[in-house]
Amino acid sequence: MTRQTAIEHISTYFDEGRFQADLADLVAYETESQNPEQAPELERYLIQAMSPRLTGLGFETHLHDNPAPGAGPILVAQRHEGDDLPTVLIYGHGDVIRAQTDQWRDGLSPFRLTEEGDRLYGRGTADNKGQHLINLAGLEAVLKIRGKLGFNCKVVIETGEETGSPGLHVFFEQHRDELRADVLIASDGPRLQPETPTMFMGSRGGTSFDLVVDLREGAHHSGNWGGLLADPAMILAQALSTITDKRGQIRIPEWRPDSLTDEIRTALRDLPIESSDGPAIDLDWGEKSLTPTERAYGWNSFAILAMKSGVPEAPVNAISAHARATCQLRFVVGTDPDDVLPALRRHLDAHGFQTVQIEQHDRGFFPATRLNPDHPWVSFVAASLERTAGKAPHVLPNLAGSLPNDAFADILGLPTIWIPHSYRSCSQHAPNEHVLKPVCRDALQLMAGVFWDIGAGGSPG
Ligand SMILES: [Zn+2]
């Protein structure tokens, strides 16, 4: 009954093809949350795929309706071993994005797991079925070898993550007691590099909005009216040009975070930012005094996602009446989220752009979260991963992208630790989604190790 036995046990689970078979079962559920016709699949996934697995591990399971009308159900499972033991909350999402069936390469099909070389293809392999399966298998291995976990465990599987987790925050507020725990340990997203374990402890926030210049009814002939009518596209372009300088450095003081401490800089110092699997990054873009890693994980970035005036597909000789730009600010902790748009309003007014209106998007807001890299749970989990992998993990204070992590950090008040099991070229949210077999095998070992170590006592909880 040793840590090593648990790791060998889970390696065999992979080597005998049982992980692949289990993943194939999960992938076969067509759990597209963006497709209302597949709503019954969401419930079926929780009742038929998740509940029996968790019951088999000695969990009590409860299927809850989502407090948001029309949104998919939420499964909560608990295994209680002792009042004095720490409690770990595990989270995953059973829904996937649209299948995009006709765009997958020949020989692949989104809801059929296909093994090819080092890859396992299928919708949800990376996002998120493969990831929560790995974590449940980690629990299974510890239970099998130790006979108990050595800690209390709660599992939440939602089915609406790909539509912005509707109802999840309200659900957590309603079930705060039931979900009480000492730490969140969950998995989603990619590792920084496939061969090195990664941990992140929060995510950047984001807010999306349109800037609109709406001057009059309809377009007017540019020969007759050019020089007489104000041009909304020009006004919008000038207004946008005051938000950043020509290399994208943010000029609105309230949009510049005050949280890039020496401690965060030290944590980010050795992390890789470039990888072979994406476009080359522009070293002369973004905040000049920062490293590229600090720009992505320790700073805010402003983007113009789309812009339009007139009819670009069929331009005519006319002064347009309207111009619109869809914009986004990604921000880290250390930016007042409630002041992002008011600060923009003050800035535009101060530059004489009263005609530029700000339209906030209904569902375009995510708060930022972060746990300091010196938090005891971070050190504990990092040490466990290092022990199993034989090398230190990459530790990120927060992800550059966004997750509903505030539901755990702010509503449940938990330290949040994410251990991603995918890699950056996994094509999540695109055709040909896949995971790498060596990363899955490695991740299974890591999670068996983490759960073994928590149950061995000495964890911060
Ligand atoms: Zn996703």
Please write the tens of the pLDDT for every residue from 234-253.
Answer: 999 999 999 999 999 999 99
Q: Is the dihedral angle over the CA atoms 227, 229, 233, 234 positive or is it negative?
A: positive
> What pTM, to 2 d.p., does this model score?
0.89
C-alpha 161 – ligand 1 centre gap (Å): 7
- Helix, strand, or coil (residue 323): strand
Q: What was the pLDDT predicted at 428?
A: 87
C-alpha 126 – ligand 1 centre gap (Å): 9
Position 229 pLDDT exceeds 80: yes
- Give the mean pLDDT of 413-426: 95
The amino acid that residue 154 corresponds to is K
* Bond into 66 cis (ω within 30): no
Tokens representing residue 160 in the block: 């609406």
Q: What was the pLDDT predicted at 382?
A: 97
How far is residue 49 from each of residues 44, 118, 157, measured CA to CA in Å?
7, 25, 11
C-alpha 318 – ligand 1 centre gap (Å): 42
Calpha distance 351→365 (Å, rounded): 26
C-alpha 238 – ligand 1 centre gap (Å): 35
- Give the mean pLDDT of 357-363: 92
The amino acid that residue 245 corresponds to is D
Q: What was the pLDDT predicted at 304?
A: 97
Close Cβ partners of 241 (under 8 Å, ≥ 6 residues apart)? none
- Helix, strand, or coil (residue 95): coil
| Cα dihedral 327→330→336→342 (10° resolution) | 0
CA 450 to chain centroid, in Å, comes to 21
C-alpha 103 – ligand 1 centre gap (Å): 18
- Give the mean pLDDT of 371-381: 93
C-alpha 97 – ligand 1 centre gap (Å): 7
Q: What was the pLDDT predicted at 404?
A: 85
Please provide residue 70's backbone torsions phi and psi, each rounded to the nearest 5 degrees. 85, -10
C-alpha 234 – ligand 1 centre gap (Å): 37
Calpha distance 239→319 (Å, rounded): 18
Q: What was the pLDDT predicted at 346?
A: 98
Contact between residue 200 and residue 368 where contact means Cβ atoms under 8 Å apart: no
Q: What was the pLDDT predicted at 278?
A: 72
C-alpha 429 – ligand 1 centre gap (Å): 6
- Give the mean pLDDT of 381-394: 97
C-alpha 124 – ligand 1 centre gap (Å): 8
C-alpha 450 – ligand 1 centre gap (Å): 24
Among the residues of 369-426, which ranges form H helices?
A: 376-389, 405-406
pLDDT band for 275, please (50, 70, 90 cuts): low
pLDDT band for 270, please (50, 70, 90 cuts): confident
- Give the mean pLDDT of 168-183: 97
Burial class of 306 by CB neighbour count within 10 A (0 to 12, 13 to 18, 19+): exposed
C-alpha 366 – ligand 1 centre gap (Å): 15
C-alpha 428 – ligand 1 centre gap (Å): 7
Strands 322-331 and 152-158: unpaired
| Per-residue model confidence as pLDDT tens digits over 335-348 | 999 999 999 999 99
Share of the chain above pLDDT 90, in %: 91
- Give the mean pLDDT of 147-175: 96
Round the average pLDDT of the chain to a whole number and report it: 95
Tally the residues of the chain. Answer: 461
- Give the mean pLDDT of 17-30: 98
| Per-residue model confidence as pLDDT tens digits over 102-116 | 999 999 999 999 999
